[in-house]
Amino acid sequence: MGKNRDRRSAGEQAASQQRIQALAPTMRIRRLALFLACRPGAVSGYLTGHAVRTRARASLRRRRAMLRQGVRRGARRPGWWRSLSTVWGTAEDGAAGSYKYRLFVTRAGQRVSAWHDIPLFSSGPLLLNYVNEIPKGTRRKMEISKDDDMNPIRQDINKAGELREFKIGDIPFNYGALPQTWEDPQWVHPDARCGGDDDPLDAVEVSETPMAYGEIATVHVLGIVGLIDQNEADWKVIVRKVPEESSGGADAGAPVPEANLDAIREFFSTYKIAEGYPIKNKLLFDGRLMPADYALDIIREAHHHWHQIRPGCKKAACSRQ
């Protein structure tokens, strides 16, 4: 005998399929109800698992949205950024332009270390905190003091004991340092082939607007320029300030104009000639701007070395960080 064949018309078969599809959700619910009725303990497990899955899916959606905006896990959303000017401030001690002048960084009105108490990393990839030491268009050589309590910003002193200024002229960019970093003289970078200069990492901020002395800002890492200064590696991290009202600083990550790079190379290779040094500083990689990933490797290394000298650190314990 042959197989049973469906003798219904095509229209009847299609109508039957539609009825089955319409009943499918009800049938699934009935099967689930029967399963839960037979196993009462599974009710709470099913509901708990459903809630966990729902929360996980929502968390994944939020995480993907944050990654699209370039925000790290655990960071505030860009729209919730507080103005850094409401967090950090400055306090002066002594007369400006004198040997005793000190500019302290403050937090909530209390003096803090400009080197050790400001976190290096900010709220997203390629975003760091930056301490401005020398505003664009000025020439006083201001720097974070490694020796004073709370590491205020003060004017450097030359070998003759005089307050130091750039004799080449006004600096054509904002110039400062990255907190919680240290260029270890004992660590030899394979590309520089010499040790660090025993200072926090220097940073060049390339926006058009002069920043204030001691201003703390979130900056976007654009790259790094290396040079050898008196047989010491002296890296210059190139950054741009992120506007505080921005949702991630699209403009802050724009490429550095070649004219700005030329000014940076010229200034750092020649400014000591004006101060009486016989030769120019040597530019690594022929003065080429190395990419942001290369810069971040050097920044992380300098942050690691800082852990070895930070206040309250026991050498053996901190060397493992």
Beta bridge partners of 278: none
Please list the residues that pair with 49 across neighbouring strands: none
- Rounded CA-CA distance 82/207 in Å is 21
Look at residue 40 in the predicted model and tell me its pLDDT. Answer: 53
Q: How far apart are CA 157 and CA 171, in angstroms?
A: 18
* Residue-level length of the chain: 321
Q: How do residues 206-225 score in pLDDT, each as one tens digit?
A: 999 999 999 999 999 999 99
Determine the Cα–Cα distance for residues 224 and 288; give it in Å rounded to an integer.
Answer: 9
How far is 263 from 236, CA to CA, in rounded Å?
13
Phi and psi at 178, nearest 5°, equal -100, 120
Per CATH, which fold does 120-144+155-318 belong to?
A: Inorganic Pyrophosphatase (3.90.80)
pLDDT in tens, 170-212: 999 999 999 999 999 999 999 999 999 999 999 999 999 999 9
Q: What Rg, from alpha-carbon coordinates, does the chain have?
A: 30
Confidence of residue 34 (pLDDT cuts 50, 70, 90): low
Nearest to 180 by CA among 136, 216, 134, 205: 216
pLDDT at 233 over 70: yes
Query: Cα(68)–Cα(86) distance, rounded to whole angstroms?
Result: 28
CA distance 78 to 249: 10
Q: Which of 12-26, 51-65, 69-83, 157-171 has the highest mean pLDDT?
A: 157-171
Residue 121: strand, helix, or coil: strand
- Residue 26 CA to chain centroid, in angstroms? 54
Taking residue 218's Cβ as centre, other Cβ atoms within 10 Å add up to: 21
Distances in Å between the Cα of 146 and the Cα atoms of 46, 103, 112, 154 are: 60, 13, 13, 10
Q: pLDDT confidence of 59, banded at 50, 70, 90?
A: low
Q: Give me the torsion for CA of 203, 126, 219, 176, rounded to 10°.
A: -10
Assigned token pair, 268: 């750092």
Give percent of the chain above pLDDT 90.
62
For the entire predicted model, the pTM comes to 0.72
Reduce the DSSP state of residue 303 to 3 states and report it.
Answer: helix
**Strand pairing category for 216-229 and 127-134:** antiparallel
Q: Is the pLDDT of residue 247 over 50?
A: no
Q: What is the residue-wise DSSP string for 21-86? A: HHHHHHHHHHHHHHHHHH-TTHHHHHHHHHHHHHHHHHHHHHHHHHHHHT--TTSPPGGGPPPGGG
pLDDT by residue (tens digit) across 127-149? Answer: 999 999 999 999 999 999 999 99
Domain ranges for the chain, please list them.
120-144+155-318
